[in-house]
Amino acid sequence: MTDPVTPAPSDLAFVPFVSVDHMMGLVHHIGIRTVLGDLARAIEADFRRWPAFDKTPRVASHSDVGVIELMPTSDGETYGFKYVNGHPSNTRDGLQTVTAFGLLADVTTGYPKLLSEMTLLTALRTAATSAMAARHLAPKGAGTMAMIGNGAQAEFQCLAFQAVCGVDHVRLYDLDPRATEKCARNLQGSGLRVTPCISAEQAMEGARIVTTCTADKQYATILTDNMIGSGVHINAIGGDCPGKTELARDILLRSDIFVEYPPQTRVEGEIQQLPADHPVTELWQVISGAAPGRRSAGQITLFDSVGFAVEDFAALRYVHDAIQGTEFYTRLDMLADPDDPRDLFGMLQRAAPAG
């Protein structure tokens, strides 16, 4: 993607803001499968230039009930960050587990050039990243996926794997049958064959791709070692903070493990169960051709995904381009713009009410 034409100085004080309503309108305008495919390509393109980015583990503030995080990065021309929380108990009060917003800024001037909701966008980019990784790691021709955990992310994951990887059958399981019913209902008319299941073991039957996405903030064993046979790709996206895992440790020992950014994943991902020197492969190396992905039909591959700032950066750049020439944003007057940059106080004075 190329950035739009740089705005005139008089326009720099106005920052495009994409609200939740705007984001929903944009997705429907483009089509969700197209958006997921576009995001997968945008994220993959930025993974191919991984060395160009500033990288740091996200800055996290943990509490007994959740976490609030900042996820920053820059490619030297554009800076981006995301604010995101994770509070699993929110659902008891009718609130989202995850909410987020993000910003892009011009490195040369420091001026913001996009402010956007990212609750929906995070779900979209997480699903797109999962499918993009699976396209490099999953067995060829895998048409059935087990979706373990049928909460807010599940439908996005299913549709992304359909759009990017050609999955045509999803087998759903959640501890809460109502979540499975919700997911199955939402996927009606999607073209996917949907099979609700009463156990994780049943959901695994015939699945060559397994996605785990649960929300409880604890060490858990969603998948036991005996449930994973040869030739499976595991997309573990629910382990995303210290003290939270979904897979039995023995599964990790039998798998070739792929991660986004090891210093972050070793703290927050499934591999927090393993020694700090346990070998992993960075996904960008597979995408760039510097390291192999799936090498054999019987190999077990594991994408231990916790989300990384480069994915959000790519998603925000995609939205920044996609809204150009549309009605799906508002111009926010959020930057002071005095005629004389040195006379900020004079601008304030001239705005005083008459009389």
343 is catalytic: no
Q: How far apart are CA 128 and CA 101, in angstroms?
A: 18
Q: How far apart are CA 183 and CA 232, in angstroms?
A: 23
Active-site option among 75, 174, 240, 304: 240
Q: How far apart are CA 355 and CA 353, in angstroms?
A: 7
Which of 335, 319, 321 is CA-nearest to residue 22? 319
Which of 202, 208, 236, 3 is CA-nearest to residue 130? 236
What sections of the chain are H helices per DSSP? 20-30, 32-48, 119-137, 154-165, 177-186, 200-204, 249-254, 262-268, 283-288, 309-322, 344-350
Residue 136: CB partners within 8 Å, gap ≥ 6?
A: 283, 286, 287, 293, 294
Distance from chain centroid for Cα 91 = 20
- Active-site residues, by number, are 240
